Structure 1
Amino acid sequence: MRCQRSNALLIASLLLAPLACAAQDTIHVAYAERPPYLLQQADGSPAGLTGTPTTAAFKAAGIPVQWHIVPTNRQLAMIKDPKGLNCTIGWFSVPERQAYAKYTKAIYRDKSWLLLTNAAFAERGITTMAELASQRDIRVLVKDNFSYGGLDKFIHKWHPVVAVSTASTVKMVQSVAKGAVDMMFVSEDEGNYILKNEAGEYAASLRLLQLKDMPRGGDRHIMCSRAVPDEVIARLNKAITFK
């Protein structure tokens, strides 16, 4: 009887061992500085609207983590790696990404979407999404491989003149201010931060417009590769305090 019990305990420990090991594997978390969402701290960890809750969640969950500053397109490549224990911070959950990624609960929710435009475009006096959609000559600047949450379907149906950029947010803002494009979509948090802290000499040429029927901002999540164990996602979800 004692032998049987010992064997049973041995089998149970062997079954649990892979899960325990997986939970202790270091997770590589990539992000790019994007204030006010993500700002790099002295130890490499992120702070900001999405960075601070992510750092806190990994710490509270007791999950070993290594932080990496990585361009956004490279972040997506890391998430698509079927063997890499990789995560990224602050992404929207959209069908295209759900095919290759796992998501935690929301870590932050954006406020309303705004239009960041130059002064000349603002003079058109557009006040609703319908008015915006009726004008096909508008030049819209979008970030390569970014999702704009509830605006994605609207942009697809609208068919404006779209310019795709891989540049930094600061460079994109300068393009708007100089009139190379008419506008870009920004969250309320980001738009206000840009005008106050990043626009510099271009601030006088920029306007933030809130249309009457703009969709609300989307939920932002920690997005991970399929290789990240479900048990790790569950522990992060338990540690995330955002509601």
Structure 2
Amino acid sequence: MMHPHFLHRRFSYSRCFALAIGLTWAQQGATQEPLRLMFENRAPYAYKNKQGKLDGLIVQSLEPALKKAGIDFVWIETPFKRQLSIVEQDQDTSCATGVFMTKERQRYAKFSGAILHDQERPSIILAHQDFKIPPGLNLLQVLSLSKARLLKKEHASYGPHIDDAIEKSGIQIVSTTAESRNMAKMLVAKRGDFIFVSEEEARTLIKENADGAHLQIYTPSGMPQSQDRYLMCTNKTADQTLQRLNRALSPNL
């Protein structure tokens, strides 16, 4: 007959073994959950082409790296403000794609390495043609023009250089939750004087807007010539997942 103390130890080992197996299964289940990649339909970064397939600079950079890293993912079209809310709520493994890194966002989110090092598309100004800007002004001078109104998406960041200049200038900000296409329409309606976009996106917005002739492009002097964009993920997103992605991204950037 087995000693009671031996039976107790054997039972404890069995419980520990079962618990370890359960944790392993739970971890495997967590790693199998696809990464939810949230995007706005916004050319040239992420948009649906004429065939209805998702395309764009961020998609072309990110998808090969995710596949190389063996990370399951799904694209989900989500308004930008909602993306930030989902990441902050930290309810699942979701990431906002192609965003700028800021100190405020780092307080509640995890960031990947740069998924896009954009050297060809520095931010410029898209303005209503009646908003007269003298030639040769730098960014802070433009933002400091009398009665100027910046049309700005709520909670948006344009990178440290532009964000700092906006804060220093004290410019009047007209907030909106609209996407870029509707922001261009708001400029035509003179609900704001200008927005920040890449020149490529600005030309697309002018071309696609029936009243695009009322819009103009202005490039302040001294604008940063490259900006990095990142995945901004919930804290529930595993560090190992982001590390694998970063290793796969390195040769592509």
Bin for the TM-score computed over the shorter chain: 0.7 to 0.9
What does residue range 47-196 of structure 1 map to in structure 2 within 5 Å?
47-110=55-118, 111-122=121-132, 124-125=134-135, 127-149=137-159, 150-196=161-207
**Letter of the aligned partner of 1:142 in structure 2?**
K
Distance 2:24 2:217 in 1: 54
User: Aligned in 2, Cα 1:42/1:70: closer, same or farther, shift over 3 Å?
Assistant: farther
Q: Distance in 1 between matches of 2:51 and 2:87?
A: 23
Kindly tell me the number of residue pairs found equivalent between the two proteins.
232
Residues 85-123 of structure 1: per-residue CA shift (max 9 Å, x gap): 111210111111111111111111332221101111145
Distance 1:229 1:32 in 2: 24
Whether contact under 8 Å (2:142, 2:220) holds in the other structure is no
8 Å CA contact retained: 2:140, 2:166? no
The TM-score normalised by the length of structure 2 is 0.81
Give the counterpart of 2:215 among 203, 206, 209: 206
Aligned-partner Cα distance in 1 for 2:204–2:50: 22
Of 188, 212, 237, which residue of structure 2 is paired with 1:228? 237
8 Å Cα contact 2:124-2:219 kept in structure 1: yes
Following superposition, the deviation at residue 133 of structure 1 comes to 3.8
How much does 1:151 deviate?
0.6
Decide which moves more: 16-25 or 71-80: 16-25
Take 2:136 and 2:148, find their aligned partners in 1: how far apart are those partners?
12
Name the SS for the 2:173 alignment partner.
strand
| Runs of 5+ consecutive residues of structure 1 not aligned to the other structure | 1-9
Give deviations 1:174-200, integer Å, cap 9, x for gaps: 12123222111112332233233x22x
In structure 1, the partner of 2:3 is none
Q: CA deviation at 1:66?
A: 2.4
> What stretches of structure 2 of length at least 5 have no aligned partner?
1-16
Does the aligned pair in 2 maintain the 1:143–1:164 contact within 8 Å?
yes
Give distance in 2, aligned partners of 1:72 and 1:104. 18
Note the aligned Cα RMSD (angstroms): 2.6
- Aligned equivalent of 1:7: none
Contact preservation (8 Å) 1:136, 1:159? no
